[in-house]
Structure 1
Amino acid sequence: MLRVARFLLVPLLLIAIALLVLSQTSRPATPPKVLTSLGDRPLVIAHRGGKGLWPENSLFAFERATALGVDMLEMDLHLSADGELVVIHDSTLDRTTNGQGPVAALDLDQLQALDAGYRWTADGGQSYPYRGQGVRIPTFDEVLARFPTTPKVIEIKVPDAGMEARLCDALTTHDQLDRVIVGSFYERSLQLFREQCPAVATSAGPGSVRLLVALNLLGLSSVLSPSYQALQIPERHSGLTVASERLMRTAQARGLNVQLWTINEQPVMRRLLDQGAQGLITDYPDRALQLLGRSTRISALGD
């Protein structure tokens, strides 16, 4: 029995020493310029440009959300058949346009000939007010050119397709390396992007989120040196609470900006802000702005 205890004691002692060293050498993330430029107030981030209000991921939506007074625009990137970065959420065209099939099967001219406002409805399909109004799938270059100073949250939707390098090149060309946060559900894409574009802020991938949650539960979060600057998480996932008040405090202690998605109801917005959320990614940015007592300027928006 004594020999077993000694056998176990050595690795446990080594683990304890390793954790002590990590806690002494770990460093919190440094807040990026894209976030420090926005100050300390809670951020209103228009999810896909505010998809509850206008056709998602369109120049029209981004223009309206910007005029509304949001802090950041959130958008998604795919690649066309001819290698152009295009702003659309789904891998297929069916849900949001009058087209069908994979985005990657059509070249840019074919994609931009589609009606990207065709499927949008606010009344369950009784009316489609943006059909035939010239709403189309924009290129990422068009978005960068139209909104050069507006902070953006960008999601890489396609791994292993060279999107990371194209994204870095576009941000460099438009001099917007310090105006964006890049995220993805693909850890390998995030790692590759960080290697290719180290000046750009990123958010935690799913593996990094799981690690932070585990360290938080074990009380070992002080050993973490994040390679990312933002924590973008849902309130709940698979029936479990992710965005607990304790986790948000832990994330902020590690220098991370905590942004919750997709938060659409004002009572939930209020509760999460009270618990420590620093940003709300929402389909209805007008509701978040109203809750925060900020003018939405919505009366100034014409039809």
Structure 2
Amino acid sequence: MTHPWFSPPAPRVLAHRGLVTLAAAADGVVENSFLAVAAAHAEGIAYVESDCHLTADGVVVLWHDADLRRITGDARPVADCTVRELEHLMAERGGLITLAQALDTFPTLRFNLDVKTDAAAEPTGRLVAKYADRVLLTSFSDERRHAALATAYTHGGHPATSGGTSTVARAVVAAAARSRAMLARAARGIHAVQVPERRNGIRIVTPHFVSACHDVGVEVHVWTVNQTPDMERLLDLDGRGHGVDGLITDRAEAAARVVRKIHPPRN
């Protein structure tokens, strides 16, 4: 049975760290803020891709970097700051949003959550357990991903999941070797692979790779796709309207228009 996270059908637009339009950015709104998540929701985007860190007082917040420097100019690590301190720093930047707030405030959104630290794995898994139908858990570290999933399972939730770096590497090698058996083993227990189109000059996302993943029941989501021609090409890899299943993008509103163009809503 397909996990509920994957309804409605592909292709999917995943708002990368929420949606920050040029106008919002001019007003000081930043990624992974409350207003960025709210903007994706207001635009009708079904999925938000975000990241999980743990604060000094044990709260999971949506934040990408290990420290605050790029977003606020403060050099401290997220792990050394309290929620109150982060709320103060984010007050003029769109507002801090915790994972609990995101899940409670936006009950129709589906979240793709990248667990960024070992310390955040168990608290994230515990929080998402009761929202598991609309959460996909992932991490570059498969060990960290498994830790978050195990905690969710213990608390009665079964989120969707996409593979970490080692799982994705095995899937890429298996697809290149054209071994369905190897790919099926690599993909066991995951629902998706989330990959860049190219890595170190090597193309990962090809028509064959996508077809091979589909053959073993795994979706392909590509990050970070911000140019309209790339969106169109990836969604129509075979020239017949078949391509990748998801676009992780900073321009979710543009990607949604491309999806509607290539896959018009049925009457």
Q: Which bin holds the TM-score, normalised by the shorter protein?
A: 0.7 to 0.9
Identity %: 31
Q: Matched residues in 2 for 1:115 and 1:171: separation?
A: 24
Q: Matched residues in 2 for 1:42 and 1:64: separation?
A: 20
Q: Matched residues in 1 for 2:199 and 2:20: separation?
A: 21
The CA deviation string for residues 189-240 of structure 1, in whole angstroms up to 9 with x for no partner, is: 0122233334111101111111011111222123424211011111001111
**2:224 aligned to which of 246, 262, 270:** 262
The CA deviation string for residues 55-114 of structure 1, in whole angstroms up to 9 with x for no partner, is: 210110111111111120111111111111011111110111253321111111111110
Cα pair distance change 1:261/1:52, threshold 3 Å: farther
Paired residues of 1:212 and 1:221 also in contact (CA < 8 A) = no
The CA deviation string for residues 133-175 of structure 1, in whole angstroms up to 9 with x for no partner, is: x62221111111111221110010112x2x2221122123xx3
Larger Rg: 1
The CA deviation string for residues 255-294 of structure 1, in whole angstroms up to 9 with x for no partner, is: 1111111000011111111121011100001111122237
Does 1:72 find its partner at 2:47? yes
The CA deviation string for residues 25-68 of structure 1, in whole angstroms up to 9 with x for no partner, is: xxxxx531110x212x4111100002465421011011111111
Q: Matched residues in 2 for 1:216 and 1:293: separation?
A: 30
Does 1:228 find its partner at 2:190? yes
**2:244 aligned to which of 274, 277, 284:** 277
SS in 2 for 1:46: strand
Does 1:104 find its partner at 2:85? no
Supply the AA of the counterpart residue of 1:178. D
Q: Matched residues in 2 for 1:292 and 1:80: separation?
A: 37
**2:11 aligned to which of 42, 45, 62:** 42
Supply the AA of the counterpart residue of 1:142. Q
Q: Matched residues in 1 for 2:46 and 2:180: separation?
A: 29
Does 1:216 find its partner at 2:163? no
Match of 1:193 in 2: 148
Q: Matched residues in 2 for 1:149 and 1:287: separation?
A: 21
Deviation beyond 4 Å, 4+ runs, structure 1: 51-54
Q: Matched residues in 2 for 1:135 and 1:218: separation?
A: 47
For structure 1, list consecutive stretches of 5 or more residues without a partner in the other structure.
1-29, 117-131, 295-303
For structure 2, list consecutive stretches of 5 or more residues without a partner in the other structure.
25-29, 238-242, 262-267
Paired residues of 2:223 and 2:248 also in contact (CA < 8 A) = yes
Paired residues of 2:125 and 2:150 also in contact (CA < 8 A) = no
Match of 1:146 in 2: 105
Name the TM-score, length of structure 1 as normaliser. Answer: 0.76
SS in 2 for 1:260: strand
1:245 Cα deviation from its structure 2 partner: 1.2
Aligned length: 243
